[in-house]
Structure 1
Amino acid sequence: MTLNDAMRLMYILMFCSVAAIPAAAQGKLPAEIAGGVTVEAAWVRPIPGDSMSEVFLVVNNKTSSVVTLTGVRRAGEEAGILVSPTGGALESIGIPIHAELYMTEGGVRVLIPNTAGAGNTAELQVDVLGGTTATFQAELLDAGAPLPDHHEYPH
């Protein structure tokens, strides 16, 4: 094998390994939902005795413009209901410049229909003004389980 052949083989192997990264990393958190906007943590928890589940996200806006979240959905389904801290439905949620939206019990959250997830995760998508984002994995919690402390995830 010549030096040129070895170099070509090395470039081919490097290209193949880089091309395989997105498929292996698909669905992992943090997940970029728009340039500079990431979902850093995601949980889905059934509401005891109800046909709905609550979705809780941590969304970080590292951009220099407001990002408008218009929906959250299980992949391939209708968007859930964005809920305000008072329990009313919201059409959208603005995430200010260089700010983080941390959805909590009794705060902003999303309601989606109960559907079975695969294993311990559910595939979710976030809708922002301008389109639907990539699919990512949310951790499924037991009904009534406390939410994890959002400080447990790395920024």
Structure 2
Amino acid sequence: MKQHEKWLYQENTASQGLMLLYLLGNSAFIIGYVNRMNVDYELGIFVLLNIFLSLVSFLVAVRQKAYAIRWGYAGIALGVYQFLRLAWIPEEITNPSRILLVALLIVTGIFALAGSTICIKRSLERQKFIVENQIGLATFQR
């Protein structure tokens, strides 16, 4: 059985695994960052934003497992957002904490981009295989 034929039935666990690693690393970043923040309204906004971000990233991971190409693009947006967050780390946070937080953002951004790129690539190849071989949707129903 060729790889494309396997993708008709196998789940995209590579993309899901990388997105779950993103979620794990992002959670570590949140814990490290919150421990160094001042207690004010910005902390509340940060926590609410990251709860939402964690829920979305889990949804992205689950949908990428099913080769959903739109969620691949959403994962790329999450990866780009991680790199944009590098500008928001305050100067008050000093070494070695700052280095750890920056490293977590970079690594999690790479995980999200890699997982999403894999999802998009495999989804396009899978769609092409389905169209070329005229495979009906009834084949995928359980």
- Greater relative CO, 1 or 2 (CA 8 Å, sep 6+): 2
Between Structure 1 and Structure 2, the one with more helix by share is 2
